[in-house]
A and B are shown apart, each in its own frame.
Chain A
Amino acid sequence: MPAERAGYTVTMFLVDVSASMGKTRTVDLPDALNGEPRTAEMTNLEWALQFVKLKIQEMIYHGRKTEQCGVILFGAAETKNMINDRSGGYDHVLNYIDINPPNASTLAKLSELQPSEEIGDPIDALVVGIETQRTYLANKKTWTKKIVLLTDGENPIEVEDWETIVEKMNTLEISLTIVGVDFDDDELPFHEENKSTIKRANETFFHQFTAELENGVAGTCALAIQEISRPDVKTVKSTLMSSILRLGDVDTRSDEAIEVVVKYSKCTAITRPKSFKKFGKRQLPHGEQTDPESNLWVELKMQTKYVLEEEDEDSDVEMKDGEDGSEDTKVEKGDGKKEPEALDKETLQRGFKYGSTYVLCPDGSFPKLDTRKGIDIAGFFKAKNFRRDHPMGEVYYVWADPNQPQQQVALSSIVQVMDKEGVMAIARWVNKDGAEPKMGVLCPSVFEKVDCLLWVQMPFADDVRKYTFASLETLVTKNGEQILKHPYLPTKEQMDAMDNFVDAMDLMEAGEKDEEGNRSPWFDTRLSYNPALHRVKQALFHGAVVSDLNTNPLPPPHPELLKYFTPPKRVLKRARSTIEDCKTAFDVKQVPKKVARQRKDGHVRAPDEDEDMLLLDKIPPRTQSQLRASASAQRLPVKDGSGSETEDDEELLLDQGAKPSKELPTSGPEPGRIVGRTQPLEDFRRNLVSGDLVSKAVEDLGWVVRDIVLKPFASRRTEELLQCLRELREVCLKEDEIDAWNEWAFRYLSLSLVSCH
């Protein structure tokens, strides 16, 4: 199917508001949090309108000016439509919303609809709809015309002239969708019990009517609502961008070089979920009357302010001029803190951070790179040596110019050779003259009737990080001997169990059967919808069309979104015994989460006693080492002879982390606290070393100190507590926890002390 031209569409919604649409029905809702099934009562009109609203919501979502709709009611109490205005007739047909790009007020107006006391004829509405649409599009002949008719089919229809209408609709190329409340459907399946004779006749008529149309369908409302949340991929036609593929030195050795005029377009492109808009309740000024029954929620707008950044106490900002680095201007910090003042963006200058110095970058001071637009092939390499883990981004197609057959032949020859020889090309890609070059590879791609190249960006040397990891294959002792048996290495038995597991979990023949009955591989990227994207869309739409999420919560995600979330049942069944074998063979155990780790205080110092003394004497107060040394001197006997350390190490294998002594902080913090009362400073430091819980550690040390102070015998620990405070203050300064310190010191501690004295 050719990609439909996005937008340029007018959809007429013809909605039946006859008295019969006021019949109520029970609609299933998603289960409540406690698992109880929930239902809601609503009229057929309310229920069926959800379909119309979701359709309109989709138009709002796309936000195109050329995607428009109008709403016409039939069975309305009032009569107002263009045919009636002109020549009368067509009673109870009301032009409810004029053709326009829809917005939220369109939805609000639909929500106000109530069933009337009248009876409406869908054919009348259809004629009015066709005419209204035709008149509106008189000068826009190429626009797509759609009509959606919503009815319960309970009322008599004037059917005499229907063939003429079909003919007219076919001439005007109008497509018609009839959505029927409780129409019978074999696919769902649904068959209404006690269906009235008139409705049965009408359903038959509607099917006959749409069958005669070149583009018509009639279906049941339940299926229509369900399918509206089915993920679908919008076919985006990628734009073709121009470039030149060069091979060899075109300028100096043009006889040995070639150029091919090419176009490139996206082959993969990340589609991100539409973002939610932020809403806030409008605060009305004092004295103004507010509606006690409702609130006005408005879309919030983002605003960026620039404020003068406060520098750290002791860091000067040195300014360097972009062109001449010699003139350094020292900047002193102003006295006292002041309110950050908003700055006018116009007065700001941009610069770069050059370590602790900044360099202003005045207008035009960045030289353009001397690069030329195009794709330069630097060489070819064997495709089997391609590192599949290196590509860094989206993939592009590179085509020969579709209007130049000669260029097509040239590119085709390169692609064919590359394909036959099994090589890829290393290429440098420049988007436009003077732009940053990118390095990447070109891979040949041979389609049924055309050849092209695929491009993907590859890393520069700076982009590849060579971290070191311990080998998983070869373990060597410190004496240089290789260890063959170790808890880190799988045994023969474990390898067998794993091999069986991998075989059993194979997906190559776990998918759908093809025409010949052979199973295809399970999982296809072309059918794996981005669950977040479609779920977000569903949530956005739902929130926009319902009047209350409490009574009408978001339905569960469409099953199509979850189909790849678990391995196929057949495969799991086949693998069940191998999974059990693996569990037994590998015996993996979760290591309990630990709050803090006890440090090996025995090894803090060298065993040399003199050394310890020296340390104590030399270091000025408030340093970590002294505290550690004194702490260990007070509480922990220094372990003698760390020569035994290496022997200990031999035993510290796999279960090292699981030893209870290392698991729990001996000081026993309160649940939820990571600093305990017994050795607060030790706990605190340990958490700082591990680094990720600084704020928590600061908070907890503060809490513990206060706690100890307020308990009896606090005076015994005065020194220790003062030490805690000094270190806490130091850390707060260094780690930007100044607010925490201020708040704690002034609010909690002083208050607590006052209250206890």
Chain B
Amino acid sequence: MAPYDDWNRIDEDDEDELQDISWLEGKRDVILFCIDCSESMLELRNDSIYEDTKTCHLYSALEAAMQIQKRKVLVGPNDSVGILLFNTSRRNESTSQGSEIKRNNFVYQPIEQISAPKVLELMQLLDAARDDPEFLRTEFPPLSGNKRVPMGDVFTSCNWVLRDGAPKTATKRVFLITDEDDPHPGAGGQRLITSSQTTLLDLTQAGVTVEPFFISTEEKPFDTSKFYSSILLPTNLEDTDASLLPESIFITRIEDLIAQMRIYEVPKRSIFNVPFQLADGFVIGVKGYGLVTEQKKGSYKYFVDLGDKMGVAGSKTIYADIDDDAIVEVPKDEILYGMTLGATTEHYEKGGRVVPVGSRVFYTAEEVKSFRSMGLEPGIKLLGFKDRTELRFEDNVKHSTFIYPDEMTYSGSKRTFGALLRSMLAKAKIGLALALTRRNAPPVFCALLPQEEKPDETGWLEPSGFHLVPLPYADDIRAAPIDEGSRASGEIVEAARAWVLKLAVKNGAYPPDAYPNSCMKMEPGD
């Protein structure tokens, strides 16, 4: 059996580091695509990629949903998705849970764990729609007479669909896709707006985040102030001032929909929440996020052939006293820790260490932990400031993490953090800090690299915060093994200059977006 490891994988040095956030990956993500199915969403337009093909916004939205599902298969096989369509007269089948969903809301796919058949089903639907431009209109007929279902009903339906299908501890999100910026105009609208507000609040309080994707076209620009800015809530109820506009509203061209959704593909989860001590008695709260993390492929499992079926084999690790053939498992709480007895234990009489009753030569698990953490509690401690240029290229051992203030643990964190950030940016300084972000981890010296907020070309805001760059310890630094060599003279250097300049990249930076990982695409069954 060719083990997976042999497959194109050579360096596994940083295996331990990648484990850091595995407990987070264990948390499931649930996405409900909630797609408007109105007349304008079904209107046929020239496809942006294929000539002679007519597609509609609904098609693009479903395709985006399919793409996200396909990605999830690899990166989050435990996650669940569902698709809800609104403003359609298609009825839910009475047998399914859909029977209780509000009128004119149709559950196309209930919330279920990602699976190949489901993705296939969606792909077949899209194929059919591509062959027959009228297919989607017949399959999901829009409400006649440009009538619209109350948005309050849509949010309520979302709530029910998620309630029935999502594990309670999962991160639950609704990706709302619509091109209608004013669903409830006119005199009777106020009542519907009010009900939208309350149902959306209800949804948010049930732990669901609504991520809106608003489609804007030249003939039908999307104006959030007409309706949505008065009902949308910040993503985190406790954290943010509710009078402010939520941070994540996307108004997008239909062609960019997939790209926008990709940004939201992974739910935002913090990896730690610790006090940040600027000085004795001057402490704020921060949360840490992994913005640069190696995206791992799905993990393999072992299967056993049981004759009539295949079973999943789980592994179980035990620690045991193994002496010849006798294997005696030792319970975890009876294990103590110490130094290896040496490579040549076989020369050692009795095969162990004789310890008089009442004496102690081994450490407890708790003591071992404290040796690692040096007895420190989790937190980030500022040690001072240095010039930006002091952070050298070679002072790197692993990826950085990003920290952002947390008002919920210390009120005033945002203004303090913001002031520190501004001041350091103005003075071109970096911070030096001692960080212990997990209880069992060793303390690490880090550079605090200030990040200025700036929008990128997709409209996403590069956030303000600090990058926590772990510095190597003296123990991690290797001396240069070569200290002398032949060097190029002036002429040769001049000759090299010509083609180095010729090969300069246009936009002048390392563009990660330009390099999708080719390995992620090579999977069986893809």
Contacting residue for A488 out of B263, B418, B523, CB 8 A: B418
Determine if A368 is an interface residue (Cβ-Cβ < 8 Å). yes
A366 touches B115 (CB 8 A): no
Q: Whole-angstrom distance from the CB of A687 to the nearest CB of chain B? A: 10
A508 touches B299 (CB 8 A): no
Determine if B292 is an interface residue (Cβ-Cβ < 8 Å). yes
Cα A464 to Cα B434 with chains together (Å)? 25
Interface size class of A (residues with CB under 8 A): 35 or more
A322 touches B524 (CB 8 A): yes
Stretch at the interface among B37-45, B47-55, B500-508: B500-508
A279 touches B337 (CB 8 A): yes
A656 touches B243 (CB 8 A): no
Interface size class of B (residues with CB under 8 A): 35 or more
Interface string of A295-333 (1 = CB under 8 A from B): 111111111111111010001011110100100010110
Tell me whether chain A's interface is mostly helix, strand or loop, or mixed: mixed
Complex interface: chain B residues within 8 A of A386 (CB): 393, 509-510
A304 touches B317 (CB 8 A): yes
A413 touches B493 (CB 8 A): yes
A490 touches B418 (CB 8 A): yes
Contacting residue for A501 out of B278, B492, B500, CB 8 A: B278
Interface string of A343-382 (1 = CB under 8 A from B): 1000111111111111111111111110000000111111
Determine if A532 is an interface residue (Cβ-Cβ < 8 Å). yes
Q: Knowing A282-B352, A354-B525, A458-B512, say if A235 contacts B339 (CB, 8 Å).
A: no
Cα A296 to Cα B481 with chains together (Å)? 47
Q: Whole-angstrom distance from the CB of A263 to the nearest CB of chain B? A: 8
Contacting residue for A591 out of B199, B371, B409, B415, CB 8 A: B409
Determine if A746 is an interface residue (Cβ-Cβ < 8 Å). no
Q: Knowing A357-B116, A389-B400, A392-B294, say if A450 contacts B516 (CB, 8 Å).
A: no
Cα A692 to Cα B27 with chains together (Å)? 10
Q: Whole-angstrom distance from the CB of A334 to the nearest CB of chain B? A: 9
Cα A399 to Cα B486 with chains together (Å)? 11
Q: Whole-angstrom distance from the CB of A614 to the nearest CB of chain B? A: 10
B390 touches A521 (CB 8 A): yes
Q: Whole-angstrom distance from the CB of B208 to the nearest CB of chain A? A: 9
Complex interface: chain A residues within 8 A of B152 (CB): 606
Complex interface: chain B residues within 8 A of A711 (CB): none
What are 8 contact pairs spanning A and B, CB under 8 A?
A60-B342, A103-B347, A268-B472, A309-B312, A395-B396, A448-B483, A649-B243, A654-B407
Complex interface: chain A residues within 8 A of B11 (CB): 431
Complex interface: chain A residues within 8 A of B362 (CB): 279, 297, 543, 549
Determine if B219 is an interface residue (Cβ-Cβ < 8 Å). no
B372 touches A273 (CB 8 A): yes
From 543 to 577 in chain A, residues with beta carbon under 8 angstroms from any chain B beta carbon are: 543-544, 546-550, 557, 561-562, 564-568, 571-572, 575
B281 touches A583 (CB 8 A): yes
Determine if B194 is an interface residue (Cβ-Cβ < 8 Å). yes
A461 touches B514 (CB 8 A): yes
B503 touches A591 (CB 8 A): no
Cα A397 to Cα B334 with chains together (Å)? 46
Complex interface: chain A residues within 8 A of B363 (CB): 276, 539, 543, 549
B523 touches A352 (CB 8 A): yes
Determine if B129 is an interface residue (Cβ-Cβ < 8 Å). no
Contacting residue for B449 out of A389, A579, A625, CB 8 A: A389
Q: Whole-angstrom distance from the CB of B188 to the nearest CB of chain A? A: 13
Cα A667 to Cα B338 with chains together (Å)? 48
Q: Knowing A104-B345, A507-B385, A583-B282, say if A461 contacts B399 (CB, 8 Å).
A: no
Determine if A748 is an interface residue (Cβ-Cβ < 8 Å). no
Complex interface: chain B residues within 8 A of A650 (CB): 243
A408 touches B486 (CB 8 A): yes
A349 touches B355 (CB 8 A): no
Complex interface: chain B residues within 8 A of A283 (CB): 321, 328
A349 touches B487 (CB 8 A): no
Minimal Cβ-Cβ distance residue in A for B400: A389
Cα A282 to Cα B329 with chains together (Å)? 10
Q: Whole-angstrom distance from the CB of B513 to the nearest CB of chain A? A: 5
A359 touches B525 (CB 8 A): yes
Determine if B2 is an interface residue (Cβ-Cβ < 8 Å). yes
B361 touches A548 (CB 8 A): yes
Inter-chain contact total with CB atoms closer than 8 Å:
835
From 260 to 317 in chain B, residues with beta carbon under 8 angstroms from any chain A beta carbon are: 263, 266, 268, 278-284, 289-295, 298-306, 309-317
Complex interface: chain B residues within 8 A of A546 (CB): 361
Q: Knowing A233-B474, A469-B464, A470-B234, say if A461 contacts B513 (CB, 8 Å).
A: yes
Cα A407 to Cα B400 with chains together (Å)? 35
Cα A485 to Cα B282 with chains together (Å)? 23
Complex interface: chain B residues within 8 A of A393 (CB): 13-14, 396-399
Q: Whole-angstrom distance from the CB of B63 to the nearest CB of chain A? A: 19
Stretch at the interface among A77-85, A176-184, A416-424: A416-424
Contacting residue for B373 out of A317, A406, A532, CB 8 A: A532
The 8 A-B pairs of least Cβ separation, nearest first, read A103-B342, A532-B442, A355-B114, A280-B330, A413-B488, A389-B467, A298-B352, A469-B463
Q: Whole-angstrom distance from the CB of A489 to the nearest CB of chain B? A: 6
Determine if A89 is an interface residue (Cβ-Cβ < 8 Å). no
Determine if A201 is an interface residue (Cβ-Cβ < 8 Å). no
Complex interface: chain B residues within 8 A of A605 (CB): 198, 202
Determine if B484 is an interface residue (Cβ-Cβ < 8 Å). yes
Complex interface: chain A residues within 8 A of B387 (CB): 508
A381 touches B316 (CB 8 A): no
Cα A426 to Cα B3 with chains together (Å)? 32
Complex interface: chain A residues within 8 A of B355 (CB): 294-297
Interface string of A466-495 (1 = CB under 8 A from B): 111111110111111001001111110011
Q: Knowing A298-B321, A550-B359, say if A466 contacts B460 (CB, 8 Å).
A: yes
Cα A226 to Cα B31 with chains together (Å)? 60
A280 touches B357 (CB 8 A): no
B339 touches A357 (CB 8 A): no
Determine if A269 is an interface residue (Cβ-Cβ < 8 Å). yes
Contacting residue for B483 out of A363, A447, A465, CB 8 A: A447
Minimal Cβ-Cβ distance residue in B for A641: B194
Determine if A531 is an interface residue (Cβ-Cβ < 8 Å). yes
Cα A457 to Cα B291 with chains together (Å)? 15
Cα A220 to Cα B294 with chains together (Å)? 52
Determine if B128 is an interface residue (Cβ-Cβ < 8 Å). no
B510 touches A390 (CB 8 A): yes
Q: Whole-angstrom distance from the CB of A434 to the nearest CB of chain B? A: 7
Q: Whole-angstrom distance from the CB of B479 to the nearest CB of chain A? A: 7
Cα A105 to Cα B478 with chains together (Å)? 35
A357-B116, A418-B500 given; 19 more Cβ-contact pairs under 8 Å: A104-B348, A248-B499, A270-B398, A296-B351, A299-B345, A303-B327, A305-B315, A350-B1, A387-B510, A420-B493, A434-B8, A450-B483, A456-B396, A460-B512, A502-B385, A502-B429, A529-B475, A531-B443, A606-B194
Minimal Cβ-Cβ distance residue in A for B229: A478
Q: Knowing A355-B73, A472-B417, A691-B169, say if A381 contacts B510 (CB, 8 Å).
A: yes
B399 touches A391 (CB 8 A): yes
Minimal Cβ-Cβ distance residue in A for B8: A436
Contacting residue for B385 out of A280, A293, A389, A506, CB 8 A: A506
Determine if A199 is an interface residue (Cβ-Cβ < 8 Å). no
A691 touches B473 (CB 8 A): no
A603 touches B423 (CB 8 A): no
Q: Whole-angstrom distance from the CB of A143 to the nearest CB of chain B? A: 19
Q: Whole-angstrom distance from the CB of B228 to the nearest CB of chain A? A: 10
B316 touches A435 (CB 8 A): no
Contacting residue for A468 out of B119, B299, B399, B463, CB 8 A: B463
Q: Knowing A369-B519, A498-B423, say if A413 contacts B495 (CB, 8 Å).
A: yes
B16 touches A302 (CB 8 A): no
Q: Knowing A436-B8, A624-B163, say if A349 contacts B1 (CB, 8 Å).
A: yes
Q: Whole-angstrom distance from the CB of A696 to the nearest CB of chain B? A: 12
Interface string of A424-455 (1 = CB under 8 A from B): 10100001101111010101010111111010
Cα A480 to Cα B318 with chains together (Å)? 60
A421 touches B497 (CB 8 A): yes
Cα A450 to Cα B480 with chains together (Å)? 10
A657 touches B476 (CB 8 A): no
